[in-house]
Each structure stands twice: as structure tokens, then as C-alpha cells.
Amino acid sequence: MTISELVNGQAWGARWAQRRQAAGSRSFRFSSSLPLFAIAWVVAILVLIVPGYLVLRAIGAGQETLATFLSPRVWSALGNTALLAVTVVASTMALAIPLAWLTTSTDLPLRRFWTVLLTMPHVVPSYVVAYLYVSLLSPRGLLQGVLESLFGIERLPPIYGFPGAWLVLTLIAYPFTFLTVRAALLRMDPSLVEAARSLGQTPSQAFRRVTLPYLRPALAAGSLLVALYCLRDFGAVSLLQFGTFTRVIYNRYQAYRLEEAAAMALVLVAAVGVVLFLDFRNRGSGHYARLSAGCARIRPQTRLGAWKIPALVLIGFVVLAALIIPAGGLAYWFWRGLNQDWAVRDLSQAQSNLSPLISLIRPAWNSLVASMAAAGLTIALALPVAVLAVRKPGRVSHFLERLTYTSAALPGIVVALAYVFIGINYARPLYQTLPMLLIGYVVLFLPQAVTSERSALLQVSPSLEEAGRSLGKRPGHVFRRITLPLVRPGLSAAGAMVFLMAMKELPVTLILSPIGFNTLAVQVWTNISEAFFARAAAPTLLLLMLSSLPLALLTLRDGKDS
């Protein structure tokens, strides 16, 4: 309001009119979005605290931080991390493109079945696959035992270090690219390829000149996820003893070199930031052109003919390596574990055969409680951010949305470290409590929740909400009766994803859990890091089953609906 308006009094008149009106009606701009902004700001602060605190701490340590930045340890960690990310991205791309093409665009038998199998490694924690491969391929592991009895081989080349980390991360991370490329292929208008063919291109030329360029955004999106996975992974690289950042930071933390850990965490955050920035710049303003709606057409399929056999061999090999070998190893160790513990019982204590399983009830319960709370809290806190981003676009809501995405640049180990420091120094009552653990989970899983909630909200045409308003209903009522039912599938999917990730999450759980709060993931980790492979099998099995339960239920329900 300007001075002149004040002087001539018109604005006051308008104000009074508004007041009078407000008796009967609330001005909707404020009533509906003020609480949303408040919650979104709280979320933003929870995220900002992490890098903010690390920066303050690093500045506070001064000399020591500088020394850490320049130490060879940082440079070797940086080199190892980059090497791992680049090679894994390359190998996952090489696997994902043929696999996605075979399962969408050819007459390969059992395509749905293969698709399901090929997607499954995605939900297995990296430390589980690493543990099973270590137990199988380590210099004196299972395979060596078999080979020794057959051929007298006494030692295998080491799986530890780069080769093992590369193999395991490739096997776990390729589904990211597989899924994005698959989705792009399914979305692709078949007439694009037909147009190329009608312009005289052979099928392979058409693939190279039309399909591959079309897939580029999908490849970039999938590869970004793969690269982030490599940068953030803690379990596999630790077990396989490959010195990437996460492993080195955790070692420093365990050696109580907290200043050093904080400084290195900052370098890691910067590295992830660089990856995100490169992706952002690469994508630029280029939105995917939306293809004409048209009628859904039956996808023309390439007939493989005799190529079916090599195609099946490729898929079979991937399924074997990523799924069957780990599953077989797990079954083996589970069986060994039952017998072993039974033998132990005879020697020492009088416990029933099932006692190792009964002892898992407590950790399983802890895992379920923490993960369910994390899922509920994360989708609830992400919702205001997503709603503001979609429905009230503006500088502030855009900033808040961006900020939540930046927490994708914060690996679990970094979030955990920052909150441990904060807990010890400023929030003693929260230190090593369940709420602190949940805050860690929320910060960690926020980007996924915001992304899927945002896309769910984008599916709801604003005119649906406007129709509700024009039918005499308040914004809150419209949100409950129109928006919420329509985005509920998206919210459940987001919740199931967060639940799954929280069940598997290792560094945050290890560092932020209350003392004695044993979860399945911690149980698995403790056993395998001490090489009790047999004892780790039962909690691993339970973890896998429980963590994918909500996702499986959702998938089944979706299948029924359609």
C-alpha cells in the first residue's frame, strides 16, 4: 500500500470491505497455503542443517580441515569413487539397453516374466549381494572349496577392491537404467521408427538414428540414479574393502577423527553436487516433447528368429548373476545356519532349534516400527512441498522444492554424521532417540517422496479442483474429497518405497539409532562384518521378505485394478 493510497483513504475502504467479507468468507490465499509454507520451511531447515553444520564445523576446525582436504586419503577416495561411478554407469548402460529393448520390442518368449525377474535385484540391499558374493568368490570362499575338491585349486584371485565393488554395484544398479529405458521405449510412438523405415533406413539404422537419440533422456535419468547410487553406497564398498568416500568417512568416524570425517563428508557432498549439476545442465530446458495422444497402438514387435537363443542366454546370465546366485547363496547359508546353531545348542545352552529365529522378533519389530514411521512421516512432510510446487508455483515454492531435491546430494553417512554432531553438541535430549533416527530417514528419503508426490499431483488437472471450488466447497474440503483420493495411489507407492529404503538403510541406522535399538539391517551388518555368514542369513531373509511386502501388495492391487 502506498502513501497516496493511505492518504486518499480508498485503500482503507477496500480493507474494511474485505474485513466485512471475511466474516463470511476467508480469503483463500492465506487460509490454504500458510500452514503448507510453514511445514515446507521446517522440512527445508531439516535438510539445510546438514550441509550448514558440516560447513560450520569445517570452518571451525580451520587448519585441520585444510590438511584433510589436501591429504592423499581424500584424493585416493575421490579417485576410487569416480572410477567406480564411471565404470558402473557404463556397464549398467550396456546391460540396460539390450535388456529393455528385448523385453519391450521383440517377440521374446515370457517377456513379462523376465521383466519382473530383471527388476527384482533393485530391492536387494547392496551389502546383502556383496556379502553373498564375498562368501562365494572370496579367495577361500565357497567356490574355492568346490574347485579345491575337484581340481585342487587352493586360492582364487581376490574379489576385494575394485572388481568386486564394480561387479556387485552393476548387478544391483542396472535396474534403474533398465526401468527408465523400458518406460521410454513403451512410451515411444511406433510411427517414429516407421517414418524412419519409410525414409529408407534399415531396422538397425532406424534404431541408431531414431530410437537411441530418443532414449537419451531416459539413459541420462537412469545413469544419474546409478551414479548417485555408487556415490552414496556404503554397504557394498565397505564389505568389499574398496576405499570410496563413504567407507573412508565411516572409518574416520569410528576412529573418532570427527573433524576429518566432517571435512571428507563435505568433499563427498561437493562431488555429488557436481554430478547433479552436470545432469541439470545436460538436461537444460529441454522438456521431452509430448507425443500426440492418439489411440494406443499395438506395438510392432521385432521377430528375433534364431537370435532368440543368444537373447535368452544374455537375460538368463543376468538373472543368474543378479538373482539366482545370491538367492542360492542365501539359501545355502540359511540352511547351514540352522544346523550350526543347532550344533552350538548341544554344546552350550539349552535352547530350542528355532531360537535364532525367535531372537529375530525384536529386531524385526524395531525395523518395522522405524520404517513405517519413516514412511508415514516422510510422505506427510513431503506433501506440502509437492502441493506448493504444483499448485502455487512461485519463487518461494520453487526454492523449497529445489532444496528438498538437493538432499539427494546428501549420502546417508553424511546425514548421519551431521545429526550425530548436532545431537551431541546442541540437542542432547534427542541424541540417540527414535525421533532423531526418523529425522535422519526423512532427510534422506525426502527427494523420492517429493518426486513421486509431485508427479501424482501433476496427474490431477487443476480444473478438477477448480470445479470443486466452483461447486461451493472450501479448499480443504476439495483437497480431501478430490485431490487426496486421486493422488492416493501415488502416495501409497511413495510410502512403500520409503518403507523399503528405510528397512535397508545402513549408515543412518547404525549411527543414529538409540543404543540397543537393534534392527534387522543392523543385525545383518554386525554378523557379516564379522564374517558370521551363516548367522547373517536368517535376518537377511526376513529383511528381504518384510521390506518388499508393501511394494508387493501394491503391485498385486494395481494388477487387479487394471
Partner 1 sequence: MVRTVERSPGSQVIAGQESSDRPDRIALRCRQVTKSFGDQTTVDGLTFNISAGDILVLVGPSGCGKTTTLRLIAGFERLDKGSIEIAGQVVAQEGLHLPPEKRRVGMVFQDYAVFPHLSVGGNVGFALGKSEATRQRVTELLAFVGLPGQQNRMPHELSGGEQQRVSLARALSMEPAVLLLDEPFSNLDAALRAGMRAEVRALLKQSGITAVFVTHDQDEALLLGDTIAVIRAGRLEQIDTPEAIYHRPRSRFVAEFIGQTDFLPATAVSGGLETSLGFMARDHTLPNGAAVDIALRPEHVRLQPDHNGLGRVLSRQFSGMSYIYYVALPDGSVVRSRQVYPAQIAEDAMVNVDLDGDYDLPCFHHGIAL
Residue 228 or 390: which CB sits closer to partner 1?
390
Residue 155 or 477: which CB sits closer to partner 1?
477
Residue 14 or 86: which CB sits closer to partner 1?
14
Residue 23 or 306: which CB sits closer to partner 1?
23
> Are residues 164 and 171 in contact, defined by beta-carbon separation less than 8 angstroms?
no
Residues 6+ apart with CB under 8 A from 102: 108, 111, 114, 311, 314, 315
Residue 103 or 397: which CB sits closer to partner 1?
397
What Å distances lie between residue 402 and 49, 173, 385, 414, 450, CA to CA? 15, 25, 10, 19, 10
Stretch that binds partner 1, among 63-71, 105-113, 481-489, 542-550 (CB under 8 A): 481-489
Stretch that binds partner 1, among 137-145, 408-416, 472-480, 546-554 (CB under 8 A): 472-480
Q: Which of 61, 427, 486, 554 binds partner 1 (CB under 8 A)?
A: 486
Residue 73 or 469: which CB sits closer to partner 1?
469
Closest separation between CB of residue 476 and partner 1, Å? Answer: 11
Residue 1 or 150: which CB sits closer to partner 1?
1
Closest separation between CB of residue 18 and partner 1, Å? Answer: 5
Closest separation between CB of residue 35 and partner 1, Å? Answer: 17
Q: Which of 471, 552, 553, 556 binds partner 1 (CB under 8 A)?
A: 471
444, 468, 455: which is closest to 387 by C-alpha? 455
230, 212, 209: which is closest to 220 by C-alpha? 212
Question: With the C-alpha atoms ordered 396, 397, 398, 401, is the resulting torsion angle positive or negative?
Answer: positive
- Alpha-helical (H) ranges within 407-483 are 412-425, 434-458, 462-470, 475-478
Question: Does residue 106 sit in helix, strand or coil?
Answer: strand
Q: Which of 154, 194, 466, 530 binds partner 1 (CB under 8 A)?
A: 466
Residues in 2-61 that interact with partner 1 by CB under 8 A:
10-11, 14-15, 17-18, 21, 24-29
Stretch that binds partner 1, among 161-169, 232-240, 447-455, 457-465 (CB under 8 A): 457-465
Closest separation between CB of residue 472 and partner 1, Å? Answer: 5
Q: Is 464 in the site for partner 1 (CB under 8 A)?
A: yes
Phi (first) and psi of residue 532, to 5 degrees = -85, 70
Please, how many CA atoms are within 13 Å of residue 443, restricted to the half-sphere of its CB? 28
Closest separation between CB of residue 489 and partner 1, Å? Answer: 10
> Are residues 97 and 290 in contact, defined by beta-carbon separation less than 8 angstroms?
no
Q: Is 155 in the site for partner 1 (CB under 8 A)?
A: no
Closest separation between CB of residue 6 and partner 1, Å? Answer: 13
Q: Which of 310, 481, 530, 553 binds partner 1 (CB under 8 A)?
A: 481
295, 307, 317, 297: which is closest to 106 by C-alpha? 307
Closest separation between CB of residue 23 and partner 1, Å? Answer: 12
Question: Does residue 302 sit in helix, strand or coil?
Answer: strand
Q: What is the dihedral of CA 54, 57, 62, 64, to 10 degrees?
A: -80
Rounded to whole angstroms, the Cα distance separating 5 from 16 reads 14
Residues 6+ apart with CB under 8 A from 491: 379, 383, 453, 456
Q: Which of 467, 545, 553, 556 binds partner 1 (CB under 8 A)?
A: 467
Q: Which of 463, 516, 559, 561 binds partner 1 (CB under 8 A)?
A: 463
Size of the site for partner 1 (CB under 8 A): 30
Rounded to whole angstroms, the Cα distance separating 522 from 502 reads 12
Q: Is 482 in the site for partner 1 (CB under 8 A)?
A: yes
For 153-275, where are the E strands, in sequence order?
Answer: none
For 200-262, where are the E strands, in sequence order?
Answer: none
Stretch that binds partner 1, among 167-175, 220-228, 280-288, 478-486 (CB under 8 A): 478-486
Rounded to whole angstroms, the Cα distance separating 102 from 301 reads 10
Closest separation between CB of residue 398 and partner 1, Å? Answer: 16
> Are residues 157 and 210 in contact, defined by beta-carbon separation less than 8 angstroms?
no
For cell 562365494, name the residue.
Answer: 136
Closest separation between CB of residue 486 and partner 1, Å? Answer: 6
| Residue 480 DSSP one-character state | I
The mark string for 262-301 relative to partner 1 (x by CB under 8 A, - otherwise) is ----------------------------------------
Residue 19 or 428: which CB sits closer to partner 1?
19
Closest separation between CB of residue 8 and partner 1, Å? Answer: 13
Q: Is 153 in the site for partner 1 (CB under 8 A)?
A: no
Closest separation between CB of residue 399 and partner 1, Å? Answer: 19
Closest separation between CB of residue 99 and partner 1, Å? Answer: 33
Within 10 Å of residue 418's Cβ, how many Cβ atoms? 23
For cell 540359511, name the residue.
Answer: 334
Q: Which of 73, 111, 209, 474 binds partner 1 (CB under 8 A)?
A: 474
Closest separation between CB of residue 375 and partner 1, Å? Answer: 23
Rounded to whole angstroms, the Cα distance separating 286 from 298 reads 28
CA end-to-end span of the chain: 55
Q: Which of 86, 317, 470, 556 binds partner 1 (CB under 8 A)?
A: 470
Closest separation between CB of residue 501 and partner 1, Å? Answer: 29
Residues 6+ apart with CB under 8 A from 64: 259, 260, 263
For helices 258-283 and 245-254, give the axis angle rounded to 10 degrees. 160
Q: Which of 9, 200, 294, 472 binds partner 1 (CB under 8 A)?
A: 472
**Residues at the site binding partner 1, with contacts judged by CB under 8 A:** 10-11, 14-15, 17-18, 21, 24-29, 461, 463-464, 466-475, 481-482, 485-486
